[in-house]
Amino acid sequence: MPPRVRAHGARLRAAGSFPARGHLLPRRAPRPRRRRALGGPDGAGAVIIESILTTVNERGAANFAPMGVEWEEDEIVIKPFLETTTFKNLEATRAAVVNLTDDVMLFARGAISDVQLPARAAAVVRGVVLEAACSWREVRVEAVDATPPRARVVTRVVHRGFQREFLGFNRARHAVLEAAILATRTHLLPPEQIRDEFARLQVIVDKTAGPRERDAMALLTDYVRRTRPEQSAAR
């Protein structure tokens, strides 16, 4: 069992009915006790952008995790579950790099295991930039609301970097992203639902993927086949 699944399983036990991994709460669920970022004039929530978030601990060791963040020009809100390394690092070193990449293999690998990826030092904050990033934002933590089960970490953008073009929409890439999120929910969803969703997503991958997306989907498919629901929930 990959360590990060174990960590979230532990969270599930501790929190009872709370979700165990990322994106398990309805994204637009009203949470009146918290300040919410406003994304537009109609007061709707900010758009969620899927990133590979890099953080470092006090000793400088880097952590790479897929995270959906609330995106605004100068403020980015990160919502890690409290047991994640990401949350601990954000509290400890008060900085992160929000990496935007079109390489969905990194989301697939990050969803099912602890990954170490090629990276270099960030320009302004204490942290690292993913080599595979198309562009990135370096952010500093301004406020932390650590109300369980999921923190709300408000950050300020202090540097923007660009490395290469982010090409247009590709259905297979989006399908792999959805599959990666499903892979983090095997302990919460009925196996038939996971199987049906994967079958639907596989059709899109077959039609529109390149080799990288096909490999990423195969990795996730293999993972969900091997992971029995009780494995992640019971630990």
- What is the Cα–Cα distance from 235 to 228, expressed in whole angstroms? 12
Question: Exposed, middle or buried by CB within 10 Å (0-12, 13-18, 19+), for 70?
Answer: buried
Minimum Å distance from CB 41 to ligand FMN? Answer: 25
22 binds ligand FMN (CB under 6 A): yes
Which ranges in 16-159 belong to alpha helices (H)? Answer: 85-93, 104-112
Q: Enter the tokens of residue 178.
A: 């959805």
Report phi then psi at 9, rounded to 5.
-60, -40
79 counts as binding ligand FMN under rule CB under 6 A: yes
Give the β-pairing of 95-100 and 75-78.
Answer: unpaired
- 43 Cβ contact partners less than 8 Å away, ≥ 6 residues apart: none
Tell me which of 85, 99, 202, 227 binds ligand FMN, using CB under 6 A: 85
Candidate list 71, 77, 86, 136; residue touching ligand FMN; CB under 6 A: 86
Strand 95-100 versus strand 48-56 pairing type? antiparallel
9, 12, 19, 21: which one contacts ligand FMN (CB under 6 A)? 21
Nearer to ligand FMN by Cβ, of 9 and 66: the residue is 66
Residue number with the shortest CB distance to ligand FMN?
Answer: 22
Q: How many residues are recorded in the chain?
A: 235
Count of residues touching ligand FMN (by CB under 6 A): 24
Q: How far is the CB of 106 from ligand FMN (least distance, A)?
A: 10
50 binds ligand FMN (CB under 6 A): yes
Which positions touch ligand FMN (CB under 6 A)? 4, 7, 21-23, 50, 63, 65-68, 79-81, 84-86, 107, 110-111, 177, 180-181, 184
